[in-house]
Structure 1
């Protein structure tokens, strides 16, 4: 993963993030994890000396989310999309499993599928929902929080490697 610019003289994603206006940084962070408190905390600790420090701060802020903040972030999540060629039985199975999960735990199912090929993601999501339905609510709260953290970390890393941050800073 490259955290530097491929074009000489162009700031890296981390440089742009560090130099962005607070509002722009928080808006970019909200795309990674929909928690205003998390975004404000991560943005407030800029500048970060390196990507690892930013990711560590993002992890720490995610671990410190209150139940209400975590519930709001979970409510903003959606299941990963199915591959375009997924058959209708897969859609039916996924919708049924997700409905059962939401009924049991009161929030959408969240799982990180970073690094999986699209054809592997569906099986991973279905297996995850089915196995996690057996969790007690407290255990599932911890698992969901960890999945949110993993999602935020992956999205933040991706954000810094593409042109998703302001360049006019």
Structure 2
């Protein structure tokens, strides 16, 4: 049992049966290795401990682990049907003009053609125009540079999703 000073949402996460905890982590990030590392470090005393463990696990992901994580993210402007997390995170594209949506589709395809994976950005709080400008800027990156940017963006997304996980009411 976890300490009474542990926030209730985090205590719930710490106390989850392993399979349920793994499923909850997989909702946050599709990397099996990332989830395995976070699961192995339970229980967490504070949300900050969980976020630090996430950052450390994200920093250690191999190229294959990063690809697995990215495969769980839909392209910007096309959130997965029935996935409230991607819809909420991509809210900046919801009211975008048809022209901007078409431009993002073209940019997503060009990016995917160059790098072999979806354009990954922490979309929370960004407008459609900001996301478009980011993909335009990043498409010129060398693959090694882009992989490190993707890792950073994935870390931000993972933190937001973990915060939602441990702050949710029962």
TM normalised by structure 2 equals 0.83
Computed over aligned residues only, the root mean square deviation of the Cα atoms, in angstroms, reads 1.4
Which sections of structure 2, spanning at least 5 residues, go unmatched? 1-6, 77-89
Match for 1:73 among 69, 72, 83?
69
The residue number in structure 2 matching 1:55 is 51
Preserved contact between residue 38 and residue 57 of structure 2 (Cα < 8 Å): yes
The one of 41, 47, 54 aligned to 1:45: 41
2:161 equivalent among 155, 162, 168: 155
- Measure the CA separation in 2 of the matches of 1:84 and 1:70: 27
- Cα distance in structure 2, aligned partners of 1:129 and 1:97: 7
Question: Which runs of 5 or more structure 1 residues have no equivalent in the other structure?
Answer: 1-10
Question: If the length of structure 1 is used for normalisation, what is the TM-score?
Answer: 0.84
Tell me if 1:29 matches 2:25: yes
Instruction: Between the two structures, name the one with larger relative contact order (CA 8 Å, sep ≥ 6).
Output: 1
Work out the CA distance in 1 between the residues paired with 2:105 and 2:168. 32
Matched with 1:86 is 96
Q: What is the CA distance between 1:113 and its match in structure 2?
A: 2.3
Equivalent residue for 1:4?
A: none
Following TM superposition, by how much is the alpha carbon of 1:72 offset from its aligned partner in structure 2, in angstroms?
Answer: 1.1
1:82, distance to aligned residue in structure 2 (A): 5.2
Aligned counterpart in structure 2 of residue 110 of structure 1, from 88, 113, 120: 120
Aligned to 1:100: 110
Deviation of the 1:83 alpha carbon? 4.0
- Out of 130, 134, 156, the position equivalent to 1:124 is 130
Q: Which runs of 4+ in 1 moved over 4 A?
A: none
For residues 123-159 of structure 1, give each alpha carbon's deviation from its aligned partner in whole angstroms, at most 9, with x where no partner exists: 1210110000110011001101111111111110111
CA offset at residue 106 of structure 1? 0.4
Which range is displaced more, 136-145 or 79-88? Answer: 79-88
User: Any idea what the Cα deviations from partners look like across 1:9-64, whole Å, max 9, x if unmatched?
Assistant: xx711000111111111111111110111111101111111111111001101111
Residue among 147, 152, 168 paired with 1:146: 152
* Aligned residues between the structures: 150
Q: Conserved in 1, the CA contact under 8 Å of 2:93 and 2:101?
A: no
Distance in 1 of aligned mates of 2:95 and 2:41:
43
